[in-house]
A and B are shown apart, each in its own frame.
Chain A
Amino acid sequence: MHPFLDITKLSIAFPKSPLPVLRDVDLKIERGEYVAVIGHSGCGKSTLLNVVAGLLPATAGGVLLEGREISGPGPDRAVVFQNHSLLPWLTCYENVALAVDQTLSREMNRKQRHDWVLENLALVHMTAAKDKRPNEISGGMKQRIGIARALAMRPKVLLLDEPFGALDALTRAHLQDQVMEIHARLKTTVIMITHDVDEAVLLSDRIVMLTNGPNATVGEILTVDLERPRDRLKLAADPRFVAARTAVLEFLHSRHANPALQAA
């Protein structure tokens, strides 16, 4: 039996640099698991996600999804991009509908697709703004539409590329709660890139910590053994939460401190 998503000996090098960004990354992810990838800026977190998404080719090694090697981008690995990447000339509804019409036209007829778009907008509580254009809504709302668009493709794996990085702290907390709720409801497999330790501990089943690049690789994997549903207020004082948080901080700031910051 294969693992659901299997990253094996993955190395990624860009043509112009002598050293690979990532080297020999091994990671196995089970169905329904929520995995966070954390590391300093420039360690290749986003590169790793882009390879899983199929947007970048692997230099060596590869990624298997349900035993099949991925060779390009596709809706089974939907991405929520860091800067939302909504198409500004389409309304929120149309942004989601474009993805649905493009990826599910075989399974659903027109009416079903329409209902499915509305269902996904309702899932992220954006029904009221469905006819607005992206520049008429806030950053948090844009990101929610981005999540709705990704979920509407019925992905096997949901890839979140620092989805809340550009948001203010309150909006971020609100969206994190919504993502936890959606994950609990849909049991989607999630890989989330983040540089926020609290976010990683709160949301994830496992936290993959990358060493510094170039030649970055998996330094440590921490299993977050907290039952769900999780409540950010109660967890703040929970010793297991604090221990997990300390372990990640320890890794990032003591053993693998950011070289750029040290030099400064």
Chain B
Amino acid sequence: MNAVSTKPAAEPAVVSRPALAALPKPSRIVPVIAQVVPPLIVLALLGLGWEYLASGPNATLPPPSKVWVDARDLIVDPFFDRGGLDKGLFWHLLASLQRVALGFALSAVVGVALGMLIGSSPFFMRGLDPIFQVLRTVPPLAWLPLSLAAFREAQPSAIFVIFITAIWPIIINTAVGVLNVPQDYRNVAAVIRLRGLAFFWKIVLPAAAPYIFTGLKIGIGLSWLAIIAAEMLIGGVGIGFFIWDAWNSSNLSDIIVALIYVGLVGFMLDKVVALAGRIATRGTQAS
């Protein structure tokens, strides 16, 4: 027994061990390639298909090659400004984004406040919920004539359309979030006698935050949908009117470039709100 157990124990001290083979490091570049290559291939195929379909003699839309030739200065220089409406896409997008930012910020503040109110008061829930359920189905553009009549100016009307479009999902999600604050948290608050505003600020708001951000994410998407349509009607600087203007002067290539930009910006808006939500609700969703 002894000999058996001591011998192996003594050995490693004498025998020098071979250096451990380094573990193969996982490549960092391979997963990136695996992510990037498929969309590039699909994009190239779609481009080729489009080129083929739009190159025939009866084609009504320009192929990508023609878009590039027609709208080259729009694509390569989004920052030019020749005065009036003759600006690069950056300026049009910036004007649209400013309207969205203002309208969306207003709807976020008012929407969260109203959502909190109807989520925490059965009276307001019963009173306001049916009205909201009807109003939220009204298409954004249907509000435009009324808001033009009320504000008598294009800028506030467009902002109001954004506001009224984005507010419903924010209200409804916030209210659901407040209703879903777990009874456990309410019990904790009751035991430490946390009431009124402090209760809202320290328990309800953080507990409902994931729901609120879901509402905000839907809201920003709807705002971006609505601003393009609204700007087509109200005119001025803005990506919506840029598209309408290009249609009126038959610049189909410009429209296609603008559409791509609109899509990319909408995608970024969604990601920005999602990121803000992830930062703000760190830890809340798990456990």
Q: List 6 A-B contacts (CB under 8 A).
A: A73-B191, A81-B187, A87-B207, A88-B284, A89-B209, A135-B283
Are A98 and B202 interface neighbours, CB within 8 A? yes
Known: A85-B184, A89-B283. A77 touches B191 (CB 8 A): yes
| CB within 8 Å of A: which B182-201 residues | 184-185, 187-188, 190-194, 198
- Complex Cα spacing A79 to B192, Å: 10
Pick the residue among B184, B191, B198, B286 that contacts A75 (CB under 8 A). Answer: B191
Q: Which residues does chain A contribute within 8 Å of B287, judged by CB atoms?
A: 88, 134-135
Chain A, residues 76-87, CB within 8 Å of chain B (1/0): the string is 011101010101
What secondary structure prevails in chain A residues at the interface with B? loop
Pick the residue among A77, A89, A99, A103 that contacts B206 (CB under 8 A). Answer: A89
Chain B, residues 194-228, CB within 8 Å of chain A (1/0): the string is 10001000110011010000000000000000000
Are B185 and A74 interface neighbours, CB within 8 A? no
Interface residues of A (CB under 8 A from B): 53-55, 72-75, 77-79, 81, 83, 85, 87-89, 98-99, 102-103, 133-135, 153
Q: Which residues does chain B contribute within 8 Å of A87, judged by CB atoms?
A: 185, 188, 203, 206-207
Task: Tell me how far the C-beta of A95 lies from the nearest C-beta in chain B, rounded to whole angstroms.
Answer: 9
Q: A102-B194, A135-B283 are in contact. List 18 more A-B contacts (CB 8 A).
A: A53-B187, A53-B191, A55-B191, A73-B190, A74-B191, A74-B193, A75-B191, A78-B191, A85-B188, A87-B203, A88-B283, A88-B287, A89-B283, A98-B192, A99-B192, A102-B192, A102-B198, A135-B286
What secondary structure prevails in chain B residues at the interface with A? helix
- Complex Cα spacing A89 to B198, Å: 16
- B25 contacts the other chain (Cβ, under 8 Å)? no
- Complex Cα spacing A81 to B192, Å: 13
- Complex Cα spacing A102 to B192, Å: 6
Q: Report the nearest A residue to B188, measured CB to CB.
A: A85
Known: A74-B193, A102-B193. A89 touches B284 (CB 8 A): yes
